[in-house]
Structures are given as C-alpha cells and as structure tokens.
Structure 1
C-alpha cells in the first residue's frame, strides 16, 4: 500500500514538475513576443507621426511659397495692375479735365487733349514717354533709365539723377491699384475684353503740382500683356467753389502692342547735357 502510494506520489510530482516547466517556458516566450509586438507598434506609430508631420510641413511650405510667388514673368503681382511690361504705343491720348466755376448747380469742365507716346522695356527698365507728338505741340518728354532720367520741354533739357525707372512708375501710382472685374471696352471701333483695376494710392503719390489723386482706375488686356491706360481722379478741394481745380488726368493707349520697340527711342536727346 505504502509502495503503491509512494509510486503514485512520485508520478504526481514528476507530472507537476513537467507541467510547471512546460507552461512556465511558454508564458515567458509569450511575454517576449508580446513585448516585441508592442515595440513594433510603437515604432510604427512614431514613424506615422513623423511622416504626417513632414507631409503637413511640406503642404504648409508649398502654400506659403505659392502665396509669395503670385507674380508673372516680369514680376507683376497677379491681382495688381501690371506695370512692368515691354510694350509700346505711339498714338495715345493724354486728357486733362479741369473743374471750372459754374454759375448754376451743374459742374462745368474744361477738357484739353494731347497726343502721347509710351515705349517701355521691362527687361532693361527703360521708358520713353512724350506728351505732344510733334515739336509744335510738345509739352514734355522723358527718357527714363534704371537709375536716372532726362526730362525735356520747350525750355530745354535736364538730367534727373533722382528719378529712375521705379520712381517714375511710382509717380503715376498705378502699381497700387487692384483687379476688380472684367468688362468689354470699345477700342479702335471694336469691343475688347479688359481687366479693370481700381484703388486709392498712398499720400506719397502726387502730380507735378503736388496734388494727391483720390482714385486711380486702370485697364489692361485680358491676358495682362499690355496696358490700355489709366485715369487719375482728384477730389474737389473744400472752400474752392469759385476757382478751378483738376478733376481727371487720363492716359489712354488704344494701339498698345506687345514686344520690343525701336531702341532708338531710348537714346539721349541731342539737346540734353
């Protein structure tokens, strides 16, 4: 009996030891596998976060770069009046409209028109601009270069060291007007699609007489390759109902074309020093 009992006890002990070793080993292996799987998941999550962050950064950079690069080949901002173009027109019109004292309630105006030419080289930053197309009607002309200009009128010619290409364009204030809408305008007897721009320039923009325009309106071709013209409008000065004042200056170039002009227009006039 005792012998049988001891044998059973021994077998039971062996079985117990056997099961302990077996399951203990499996549990340890399972724990190691689970720990490795967790590490892999964490690693993948980190990689995913890094990838999403990198992609987001790329998108933000692309958006910022795109917003800062909304310019055409000549550096003109796409929603602003294109001021830096290679273009020319030799038979434009410059119109000055002056308010004159009116006896009744209606405002009277005095309108004066001159022939005007405009030749512009965007690459070399030069402008030839003349008001009065023949010597008999000459009002003035500019030969504008990158860092200086020559100004000529009936009294003679002088060099302007402080008036270069950028400052000359700035004087018209047209670089400050924004795109508003598109419309059709009759040019040369035919209707053309144009872009209309409007805006009030800063106070630093004034005429030769020191008058600040209250509004500027400009017109370009629908493809923004040429400018058809611009108008400057001036407020009626207070307490000056009995005196004349300027109402509008308009530069209109109905035959403005794209492309290089005769560069001889940029030569210094013989009468200039």
Structure 2
C-alpha cells in the first residue's frame, strides 16, 4: 500500500456545504454537474479509491475478456495552485505541478525512485487522461454499477497516452456525481494491437469530495530533486 502523508480518516459528518464550515474547517464546494462540467476544480478522494485493468483473452476474436485486476488508487487535486497527486498504478504516484512532475515509484510500499519530468505538467497530465474536454450526450441522470447517481460525460480519446504501450483509446467515459458535482471516476477503452492486450482502464473514487485538499499532501518525497533549471520552482 502506498501512503503519502498520514492523515485522520474523516467521516461525512465532518463536512458541510459551502455556506458553512464543519468542525474540521473544510468547505465543500458543491456544483451542478448537469451542464458545463469540468475536471479543473479542487477535489480529493477522502478514502482510497480503485483502479482496474481489464485485458482481452488470448482469443480476443470471440470478444472474451479476462477478470479485471483491481488495485488501490487516490486522487488529490488542487486546481487553484495547478497541482495534482495521483496514484497511477500499484507502484507509481505522480506529483504534477504547473511546469513539471515527479514520478515516484514504490517497492513493497517503500520509495525506490523518483524521476523528474520536465515534459509533463499538471495540465498536460490531465490532458493525456483524456479529461480536458468533456462533453455530455446523455440527458438524464444515470446510475452506475457502483450504485451512484451520475451525469455521464465523454472525454477525448485522441488525447489519451497509455504509458509503455502503443495502444490507442477509442472511448473515454467520465462520471460526475449528480449530488455534489465531484468527478467520481472514468473508464478508458483501448483498441487491440495483439491478443491479450488491454481493453479497459478504469479509475473510481467513491468518496471524491469537491473541496480543497490539505496542502501538505503535495509535498514531494525528499528523494525528489528537480533539474538545475527548475530548482527554484519546487513548491515549498
């Protein structure tokens, strides 16, 4: 399990809407997700979410799919300051900032490496997920298999970049909470290059809250060092 900073587990009673503050001092900025939905807001997963991988069977001509492999994930987004911490897969976390990123890799729960990436920023990372431009083609509130009422949006599959693969995406479907307007998750579907390759990549955050995350969650590990040209731009 990957952990960034230890923090108290908060319950829903700790939060109030934006008209008043709860005891935890956290403001929830609810919004109407039925129109003009955007991912560029402050929000974070209160509890651990999931990401899942579904691969095709070797004889994919019959449309067979393997059992999804499910792993933990989290999403901490501070759009106000253009920064994001996302557990990408079982052993990788990205710390994305306005002009660069750190890719932190873990082995058995411990940090094993941290790679500086000047080519990936907060906005470009969201773009490569296919979530920068979202369009809604569904008129009614729908219920997902997670039993959440959502508005469904289509992302931009042409922008999707799958790390370590030449597969291309043909569909991105994002889910906005019909109650508070938070991004609950998204599904990305990929074309086939060979048998047994990836069919679907999904992220889901059942407890996503439209509120400002704790700023300390965005502190990169001490192992992370920028290049000399970016040394004065690391957030303090």
Calculate the TM-score normalised by the size of structure 1. Answer: 0.61
Q: Deviations over 1:78-121 (max 9, x none)?
A: 85541101111041110010112139945131421110000001
For 1:143 and 1:100, how far apart are their aligned partners in 2? 34
Q: Which residue of 2 aligns with 1:184?
A: 142
| Pairs within 5 Å for 1:141-180 | 141-154=93-106, 155-180=112-137
Q: Which has the higher helix share?
A: 1
Q: Which residue of 1 aligns with 2:82?
A: 125
Cα displacement (A) at 1:219: 0.5
| Pairs within 5 Å for 1:47-126 | 79=35, 81-89=37-45, 90-102=47-59, 105=62, 107-126=64-83
Mark the runs of 5 or more structure 1 residues left unpaired by the alignment.
1-72, 133-137
Is it true that 1:207 corresponds to 2:165 in the alignment?
A: no
8 Å CA contact 1:94–1:114 kept in 2: the answer is: yes
Point out which structure has higher relative CO (alpha carbons under 8 A, 6+ apart).
2
Q: What is the alpha-carbon root mean square deviation over aligned residues?
A: 2.6
SS at match of 2:59: coil
1:110–1:220 CA distance, 2 compared to 1 (3 A): same
Calculate the TM-score normalised by the size of structure 2. Answer: 0.70
Alignment partner of 1:253 out of 197, 205, 214 = 205
8 Å CA contact 2:34–2:178 kept in 1: the answer is: no
| Pairs aligned (count) | 186
8 Å CA contact 2:51–2:202 kept in 1: the answer is: yes
8 Å CA contact 2:38–2:134 kept in 1: the answer is: no
For 2:175 and 2:40, how far apart are their aligned partners in 1? 14
Q: Deviations over 1:148-167 (max 9, x none)?
A: 11111134001111211111
SS at match of 2:157: coil
8 Å CA contact 1:149–1:164 kept in 2: the answer is: yes
Q: Deviations over 1:45-84 (max 9, x none)?
A: xxxxxxxxxxxxxxxxxxxxxxxxxxxx9xxx98554110
8 Å CA contact 2:130–2:157 kept in 1: the answer is: yes
Mark the runs of 5 or more structure 2 residues left unpaired by the alignment.
1-28, 107-111, 226-236
